[in-house]
Structure 1
Amino acid sequence: MNYQTVLDQIKCYEPHFEDYNFLALQKVDAQLTITNSYIYYGQLVNNMRHGKGILLQQNGRKYEGQWQNDHKQGYGWEQLTNGSQYEGNYSIGKPNGQGKFTWANGEVYEGQWNSGVREGRGTWYGLKGQKYQGEWINNLACGYGEYIHSNGNRYVGNFKDGLKNGEGLEYFSNGDRYEGNYLNGQPHGYGQYYWSNGTLFQGYFKEGLRCGQGFWKRSEEQSTDEYQGEYYEDKKNGYGIYRWSNGNEYRGNFLNDFKHGYGEIHYIDGKILKGNWEQGKFVAEENYNLSKKTSHSFDNQIIKIVNNSHCFNQSFQNQNKFIDNQFINCNQIQNNVYNDCENEKLCNSFSDVTNNNNQCKNNSNNDPATSQTFRTTKTIRIRQYQKEKSKNMSQQTSQNGPSTPIKEISEKNEKQKTQTKFCIKVQNNFYLHLRRPK
């Protein structure tokens, strides 16, 4: 390089610090050093850069500040080839202590340095409003700190390798809140999530999703539902108990937030619905085996049915339809479905139980309980006649005598022609129709 050309370049140089211009350095006996890779203009001691000086490298890198024993030492400013800048303290040629680094894209770090890396307490400012303030190790957030996302979410807790790790508390911009453990930036392990509407979840997470045992509670102005059981991939999966605000509860298996598999609904009035479910819909009632030994004849069963007529609910008197019931051993009445959950408010993908009850199937088992004991089951149809039909029936019974049952031969099919039909009045507007083969 030509000496005069380099000297003219130094005279025209615009420094970052005011006291590092050409005239200011001349007052401290600055000297010019020229090599194939850099130009140095500043103080020298024993032919080593020592004191104040400017370094202009051939690749475009610049430094102005303090020197000691040919190394950057003390306070200085440096511009890298990509346009990034550092201003702060140096030790043995590297940033050390308090300093500010500004990337070429506009990001800023201001805090402590150790041998050229960000380490200690520091604050980082992103381009879209992000901000991290806390501890650093090896240029990464590590330890306790606070991070503000660009969308307004705020996390306060522990970091490791630049990610949320350990215990932390995160406030979301929509009002939600999470308290618990993190792993690699996501909730992992035990934690508590609070929604802005009052709903909460307490349980275990895996890679940001609810997984394992958990307790969920939905709180609103008029209803409070609860679930306690297994989760997988952020949905109810496995065994659990769901309680509605009206006191009813479901105990059984779930699949992807739906009742699926075997389950039981326990109603507040003491009734229990047991059976199988598919995708939230009730498909089949449990098959009960309640057979007992019996030696009663068919005629004796008729007498017992008449004596047990008080078992019929009085609410049937105002209906005009057939209702099928099973009499087991002539002493028990079992309804196929309990349909008293019309007021249930189902939430979170639960299907209405009242709609599902209409699809249930009766799978009663007629197999013998033992080799010597057989189940005796008689199906009885109960029909409430209207007032006009009741009058006609009473007239027919009066003609044939009060103690003689009425015989009617059905002509609908050949099988019914061989059967005898008995009509016995057991209550007001109630008639029992029984058929037996001749």
Structure 2
Amino acid sequence: MKIIRVRAVHTAVSVFAFILLITAQISSAQSLKDVTDENCIQGDCIDGRGKLELSTPFGKGQYFGDFRDGEFHGRGRLEIPISFVEKAIYDGNWNKGIRSGRGTYWNGTGSLYIGQWRDDERNGQGTYFHNLPRWGENEHSEFWMKENTENYSGEFVDDNYQGKGIYRWADGRKYDGSFFANNKHGSGTFYFVTGVARTQVWNYGDFVRWD
């Protein structure tokens, strides 16, 4: 999500293109674009802390947080309308206009990620929730959501499930094992709703055998 460099926000409102493209296979591809105007309405939006108002065809969005050299840098929260009723939210750390460090991203259409980012991609430890009917901040703890919704929790590499992780289903089933490029790969343990556990072996997403 390479964002923007704010230029001369203390004078006339400038026009720019804002594009957020989520290409990860683990979520529905979502393109957020057509931010047409920006206006610094509070604080310092060049080098400091401020609030930047963002105009879109669906209404007003905003970024509130730290800036350096006109870019989002430090801690900040970005909210962008994706329809007349829904908005995407990223709340976390930024580095020169891109997501880097720990952050929470809600795409506005049922997908939520909480965890580490690097170079604007999910990298490191995190949890990806999907098929959520809605998301209310502070409504449920991350622990509760892990145990009661469908999600993947574990290692990410370049937006992919990769490394050790646990995939959970809302009915109580779960798979604890290795992943590669969003696929089960190697050995892992499948837990049935009854609590019975069996070892499985996978090869790049293809089931090999029960052990």
TM-score normalised per structure 1: 0.35
Confirm or deny: 8 A CA contact 1:132 1:145 kept in the other structure: no
Corresponding residue for 1:143? 48
The count of aligned residue pairs is 164
Confirm or deny: 8 A CA contact 1:135 1:141 kept in the other structure: no
Provide, for residues 66-88 of structure 1, a one-character-per-residue CA deviation record: whole Å limited to 9, x for no partner: xxxxxxxxxxxxxxxxxxxxxxx
Root-mean-square deviation (Å): 2.5
Corresponding residue for 1:266? 191
Shift of 1:131: 1.8
Q: 2:69 aligns with which of 142, 158, 161?
A: 161
Shift of 1:142: 1.1
Higher-Rg member (1/2): 1
Mapping 1:371-382, distance limit 5 Å: none
Matched, 1:204 2:116: yes
Corresponding residue for 1:130? 37
**What is the identity, as a one-letter code, of the residue corresponding to 1:145?**
G
**What is the identity, as a one-letter code, of the residue corresponding to 2:199?**
K
Corresponding residue for 1:242? 167
**Against the structure 1 CA distance between its residues 123 and 273, is the aligned structure 2 distance closer, same or farther, given a 3 Å change threshold?**
farther
Return the structure number with greater helix share.
Answer: 1
Work out the CA distance in 2 between the residues paired with 1:216 and 1:230: 10
**What is the identity, as a one-letter code, of the residue corresponding to 2:122?**
R
Provide, for residues 53-99 of structure 1, a one-character-per-residue CA deviation record: whole Å limited to 9, x for no partner: xxxxxxxxxxxxxxxxxxxxxxxxxxxxxxxxxxxxxxxxxxxxxxx
Shift of 1:147: 2.8
Provide, for residues 107-126 of structure 1, a one-character-per-residue CA deviation record: whole Å limited to 9, x for no partner: x957xxxxxxxxxxx35511
Work out the CA distance in 1 between the residues paired with 2:71 and 2:109: 29
Unpaired stretches in structure 1, ≥5 consecutive residues: 1-107, 111-121, 287-438
Corresponding residue for 2:205? 280
Corresponding residue for 2:30? none
Q: 2:94 aligns with which of 163, 182, 202?
A: 182
Shift of 1:146: 2.5
Work out the CA distance in 1 between the residues paired with 2:100 and 2:196: 40
**What is the identity, as a one-letter code, of the residue corresponding to 2:115?**
G
**What is the identity, as a one-letter code, of the residue corresponding to 1:125?**
V
Work out the CA distance in 2 between the residues paired with 1:124 and 1:202: 37
- SS of 1:169's equivalent? strand
Confirm or deny: 8 A CA contact 2:124 2:155 kept in the other structure: yes
**What is the identity, as a one-letter code, of the residue corresponding to 1:270?**
G
Matched, 1:193 2:105: yes
**Against the structure 1 CA distance between its residues 232 and 123, is the aligned structure 2 distance closer, same or farther, given a 3 Å change threshold?**
farther
Provide, for residues 223-259 of structure 1, a one-character-per-residue CA deviation record: whole Å limited to 9, x for no partner: 9302211111111111001111121100001111111
Provide, for residues 182-232 of structure 1, a one-character-per-residue CA deviation record: whole Å limited to 9, x for no partner: 0010111011112323432111111111111112222445x9302211111
Confirm or deny: 8 A CA contact 1:124 1:131 kept in the other structure: no
Work out the CA distance in 1 between the residues paired with 2:161 and 2:125: 10
Matched, 1:229 2:154: yes
Unpaired stretches in structure 2, ≥5 consecutive residues: 1-6, 17-35, 134-147
Corresponding residue for 2:22? none
TM-score normalised per structure 2: 0.69
- 176-185 or 123-132: bigger deviation: 123-132
Work out the CA distance in 2 between the residues paired with 1:228 and 1:252: 11
Confirm or deny: 8 A CA contact 2:123 2:155 kept in the other structure: yes
Confirm or deny: 8 A CA contact 2:190 2:200 kept in the other structure: no
Corresponding residue for 2:20? none
- Could you say which structure has the greater relative contact order, defined with CA pairs below 8 angstroms and 6 or more residues apart? 2
Percent of pairs with identical residues: 30
